[in-house]
Structure 1
């Protein structure tokens, strides 16, 4: 049995996941939330593991949720060359993204969420290890910033599974045709 690997992430219309300085203020984009969106809760209901890079982890614990780690119920793997001390549910590792995900896919468990960032996403995409891409397009054009996909050897062929619009954001779910 192989666990599903999901990339669930938001990007600007021109494909950036963060501004040049790493900030993600554009995600609010002046969007008025008038419709209930349960996509995040649905994702959290099917995962038991999160994987992210050190920059994303630092942003989560220092800026986005400094008072409480939002993934304390899940196993967290932080890919870094500067590991901290591991805890029961927080593992710092210097393994490459593809090696780590291969190992996790072979273990018992529920789905795995790849939180970010671009240096983690590109090698997983190139290795065709992401099963499901859930991309939320924010109606903002940044012009520059941190790209969703760094360069890699492609192509990776996807199949559109679902598209819907909520609160002026476009949600697109793709499955990996190479699976």
Structure 2
């Protein structure tokens, strides 16, 4: 369908492909010299819907000291356990393909997959992602939570653009 909303992965990774350490730390990311907000504000204006995994949602609440940063967007948290919706988010534990296709067919701006690794993997494997904007940090952390999990799937991509934000390289791909 031509008028479908795009589902976009916008995420940072270490050069060796990790989005966080095994204990969910992003300290390594905040040590890298960027430029302004590394394109975040410009991207944020292009989305009106945000998808998060439960661990990422919990991490954000902890990191932001309970002040949810996406209050002006429709936010959905994917969780395997039952949770009570609140003023900021709705919890989803159903079929991601059906739910995502319904979202894509609604009018609006793009849809952002914030993370984390399990959610990203599920969306990529189901071929639901339309674009990937991956910001690579100039750091190698050796181990952690991988951006791309090993599995039996393949995606063909087209490189749309490359941007530099000091010590970060932003790679923007479109899924063929």
Query: TM-score, normalization: structure 2?
Result: 0.92
Deviation larger for 110-119 or 98-107: 98-107
Residue 56 of structure 1 is matched in structure 2 by 56
Q: Give the C-alpha shift of residue 90 in structure 1.
A: 1.3
RMSD (Å) for aligned C-alpha atoms: 1.5
1:57-96 map, 5 Å = 57-63=57-63, 65-96=64-95
Residue 19 of structure 2 is matched in structure 1 by 17
Q: Which runs of 5+ in 2 are unaligned?
A: none
In the TM superposition, what whole-angstrom CA distance separates every residue of 1:122-157 from its partner, at most 9, and x where no partner exists?
121122211110000011111110000112322100
**In 2, distance between residues paired with 1:99 and 1:174?**
24
Residue 41 of structure 1 is matched in structure 2 by 41
Count of aligned residue pairs for this structure pair: 174
**In 2, distance between residues paired with 1:84 and 1:27?**
30
**In 2, distance between residues paired with 1:118 and 1:108?**
27
**In 2, distance between residues paired with 1:22 and 1:60?**
11
Q: Which runs of 5+ in 1 are unaligned?
A: none
1:1-179 map, 5 Å = 1-29=3-31, 31-33=32-34, 35-37=35-37, 39-63=39-63, 65-177=64-176
- Say if 2:52 and 2:78, in contact at 8 Å, map to a contact too: yes
